[in-house]
Amino acid sequence: TNRGTSTLLPSRGFERECEVRTAPLSQILQPDELTSARIIKIDVEGSEGRVVQGLLSSLPQARQDLEMLIEISPAELELQGTSAGEVIGQLADVGFNAYTIENYYEAYRYVAGAYAQSAVRLSTTPSGTGPFDLVFSRIDAPELPVNWCA
């Protein structure tokens, strides 16, 4: 049932298998690598608050068409003293609008080319504890066409 899940959080009941050093993207990438990124994908099983916090100071120098796809895990965020609303708000404060997008876990959809879709402007933070995906973009529109793989 594990589709590649790994976490820094002990709440999932996993046993520690290995230690991986982490650092903010601004310390891992060269400045030109970060400023030339068109898409950033963040899927860190509840640590997205920390990742976004470490990325905020770099966003003003990023491309204007930068988009970020972030899987938000509300239950795990709460265990770390933050919330999905806070993560969304931090990115809104630096000019990014949030759009909902469906996350398809079936590999055949990608192989068959069934990944083209639109993302709809987020009106309220989704309720519940399960994860959901958002696209963050500087575009301000009711719907955001998503053609990353086209």
What would the mean pLDDT of 38-42 be, rounded to a whole number? 92
Q: Where are the alpha helices (DSSP H) in the chain?
A: 25-28, 31-36, 48-55, 74-79, 84-93, 107-111
Higher per-residue pLDDT: 29 or 71:
71
Confidence of residue 21 (pLDDT cuts 50, 70, 90): confident
Helix axis angle for 84-93 and 48-55, nearest 10°, is: 10
Exposed, middle or buried: residue 25 (CB in 10 Å: 0-12, 13-18, 19+)?
Answer: middle
pLDDT at residue 150 in the model: 46
Query: How many other C-beta atoms lie within 10 A of the C-beta of residue 43?
Result: 18
Please check the confidence at residue 100 and state whether its pLDDT lies above 60: yes
Q: For residues 51 and 148, what is the distance between their CA atoms, to the nearest angstrom?
A: 22
Q: What is the mean pLDDT of the chain?
A: 82
What would the mean pLDDT of 103-130 be, rounded to a whole number? 72
Q: For residues 60 and 136, what is the distance between their CA atoms, to the nearest angstrom?
A: 14
pLDDT at residue 13 in the model: 64
Please check the confidence at residue 88 and state whether its pLDDT lies above 70: yes
Note whether 43 and 8 are within 8 A (CB): no
pLDDT at residue 4 in the model: 57
